[in-house]
Amino acid sequence: MEDDTIAAEKKRPSQAAIMRAERVSPKKDKGQNFLKDPATARKIVESAGIGPGDRVCEIGPGLGALTLDLARSARTLIAVEWDRDLAAILARRLESEGIRNARIIREDILLLDFGELARMAGGPLVVVGNLPYYLSSPILVKIVTERASVTRAVLMFQKELARRIAAPPGSRDYGRVSVLAQYAARLRTVARVNRDQFIPAPSVDSEVIELDFSAPPEFPARSESVFFDVVKAAFGKRRKMLKNSLAASELGLDARQVDAALDRAGIAPTRRAETLSLAEFAALSDAVMDEAKSDVI
């Protein structure tokens, strides 16, 4: 049995062989860094822990490095690929492998709604992807915002962004993506992948991170949309003191209201966004809500 498995693995074409056969080359501006080695791809899928009950949404399947194993492990798979040529090649691969539980959607993931994708899949999703690096932050923000339809996400990021996601308050890397990811999810580093595992090789290594959304936030804000707006505003002018970045933002508060909200939350107006803990951001968000309400009255 084991010999069969090894033989099957050897027969699987490399991404380079598929690209040669299909006469395609990676589009750098679309973040097409393909996983080179089928064995590495398989390890990533294994470490994602996909089981027969999972409904998976893969973002950016490309030529299918992860897709075939994902589909074989999952109950259903929806793969969202922007590139028309790659989507067509992948459709043929799935067909020739006899995979029937996968569906490809040829679209920009940022234009889709995870709630709609989950309805299509018949239940909440596990989102998986080797993300196009130029869209990794907006994709992450979208998943966090729409996580009512997502139980967890297992995503590959370039190392710099992976570091920012996990950065603690007060550190140089702490920013909007750190606060959103840590507010909404428990984080776990699943794998580290060397840059030489990709064609073309990017200039940095990558990391696979799991975001588990199953538990509620440890420091919940009363309104999540206000919380997201406050975090965005606070980091909008990163180098500025909070009172200035919040007053100059789309929150619609004047300087007096910003001072009052910071006072309510017990946060000194001279602090900068990168020093605030999750609990402080939640308190600030609630204070901004109260301040906006008292203004209406």
Interaction with ligand SAM in 214-273: which residues (CB under 6 A)? none
Question: Any contact of residue 208 with ligand SAM (CB under 6 A)?
Answer: no
| Nearest-angstrom CA–CA distance, 102 and 108 | 18
Question: Any contact of residue 178 with ligand SAM (CB under 6 A)?
Answer: no
Question: Any contact of residue 207 with ligand SAM (CB under 6 A)?
Answer: no
Of 50, 69, 130, 209, the one binding ligand SAM by CB under 6 A: 130
Report which of 106, 182, 174, 118 is spatially closest to residue 146, judged by C-alpha positions: 118
- Which range of residues in 129-137, 157-165, 169-177, 251-259 is near ligand SAM by CB under 6 A? 129-137
Question: Any contact of residue 109 with ligand SAM (CB under 6 A)?
Answer: yes
Question: Any contact of residue 71 with ligand SAM (CB under 6 A)?
Answer: no
Question: Any contact of residue 291 with ligand SAM (CB under 6 A)?
Answer: no
C-beta of 36 vs 243, nearer to ligand SAM: 36
Shortest CB 171 distance to ligand SAM, Å: 27
Non-local CB neighbours of 247 within 8 Å, separated by 6+ positions = 253, 254, 255, 258
Non-local CB neighbours of 255 within 8 Å, separated by 6+ positions = 243, 247
C-beta of 27 vs 256, nearer to ligand SAM: 27
- Which range of residues in 1-9, 102-110, 140-148, 253-261 is near ligand SAM by CB under 6 A? 102-110
Question: Any contact of residue 70 with ligand SAM (CB under 6 A)?
Answer: no
C-beta of 63 vs 242, nearer to ligand SAM: 63
Shortest CB 131 distance to ligand SAM, Å: 6
C-beta of 134 vs 218, nearer to ligand SAM: 134
Count the site residues for ligand SAM by CB under 6 A. Answer: 23
For residues 233 and 245, the answer to whether their CB atoms sit within 8 Å is yes
Question: Any contact of residue 35 with ligand SAM (CB under 6 A)?
Answer: yes
Question: Any contact of residue 32 with ligand SAM (CB under 6 A)?
Answer: yes
Where does this chain bind ligand SAM (CB under 6 A)? Answer: 30-35, 59-62, 65-66, 80-83, 86, 108-110, 130, 132, 135
